[in-house]
């Protein structure tokens, strides 16, 4: 095995992420937004 490229000979890394979907904010302020499909996430 090759020498570690990470500090302190670490063997792995960790990436913690989160996804904040804000549709509920828009719908809470204006319930009519729920009828507008473009306001929802696509994909």
C-alpha dist (Å) from residue 15 to 5, 6, 7, 18, 21: 17, 14, 16, 10, 20
Is 39 a residue whose pLDDT tops 70? no
| pLDDT at residue 16, as a whole number | 94
Position 29 in a domain: yes
Number of domains in the chain: 1
DSSP 31: G
Position 16 in a domain: yes
34: containing domain: 7-39
Percent of the chain exceeding pLDDT 90 equals 9
Q: How far apart are the first and last CA of the chain?
A: 40
Position 1 in a domain: no
Q: How confident is the model at residue 15 (pLDDT cuts 50, 70, 90)?
A: very high
Position 2 in a domain: no
C-beta separation of 39 from 23 below 8 A: yes
**Considering the entire predicted model, what is its pTM?**
0.31
Distance, in Å, from the CA atom of 17 to the CA atom of 7, rounded to the nearest integer, reads 22
Position 33 in a domain: yes
């Amino acid at each position: 095995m090759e020498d570690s490229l990470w500090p302190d000979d670490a063997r792995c890394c960790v990436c913690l992420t989160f996804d904040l979907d804000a549709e509920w904010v828009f719908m809470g302020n204006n319930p009519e937004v729920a009828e507008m499909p473009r306001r929802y996430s696509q994909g």
